[in-house]
A and B are shown apart, each in its own frame.
Chain A
Amino acid sequence: MSNIVLPIVFGLVSFATLLATIRIISGPTIPDRAVGLDTATTITTAMIVLFAQIFHRAIYLDIALVYAVLAFLGVIAIARYLEGGM
Chain B
Amino acid sequence: MAEILQYFMLFLIVLMLALALFAVKTKDLLSAVIASGFISLVASIVYLYLQAPDVAMTEAAIGAGITTLVFVITVRKTKGKEK
Where the two chains meet, the residues of A that have a C-beta atom closer than 8 Å to any C-beta of B are 3, 6-7, 10, 14, 17-18, 20-21, 24-25, 30, 33-34, 36-37, 40-41, 44, 47-48, 51, 54, 57, 59-60, 62-63, 66-67, 70-71, 73-74, 77-78, 80-81, 86
Total number of B residues with any Cβ neighbor in A under 8 Å = 38
Q: B35 → chain A, closest Cβ, in Å? A: 6
Question: How far does the alpha carbon of A43 sit from the alpha carbon of B37 in the complex, in Å?
Answer: 14
Contacts of A33 in B (CB 8 A): 30-31, 34-35
Question: How far does the alpha carbon of A44 sit from the alpha carbon of B12 in the complex, in Å?
Answer: 11
Interface of B is mostly: helix
CB-contacts of B26-73 with A (<8 A): 28, 30-31, 33-35, 37-38, 41-42, 44-45, 48-49, 53, 56-57, 60-61, 64-66, 68-69, 72-73
Nearest chain-B residue to A3 (Cβ)?
B1
Contacts of B11 in A (CB 8 A): 14, 17
Asked, given contacts A44-B44, A74-B64, whether A18 binds B28 with beta carbons under 8 Å apart, the answer is no
Q: A60 → chain B, closest Cβ, in Å? A: 6
Our count of residue pairs bridging A and B at CB distance below 8 angstroms stands at 113
Asked, given contacts A30-B30, A86-B76, whether A71 binds B19 with beta carbons under 8 Å apart, the answer is no
Nearest chain-A residue to B67 (Cβ)?
A74
Establish whether residues B66 and A24, one from each chain, have CB atoms under 8 Å apart when the complex forms.
no
Establish whether residues A81 and B45, one from each chain, have CB atoms under 8 Å apart when the complex forms.
no
Establish whether residues A73 and B22, one from each chain, have CB atoms under 8 Å apart when the complex forms.
no
**Which of B1, B37, B57 makes the CB contact (< 8 A) with A54?**
B1
Establish whether residues A78 and B72, one from each chain, have CB atoms under 8 Å apart when the complex forms.
yes
Contacts of B65 in A (CB 8 A): 70-71, 73-74
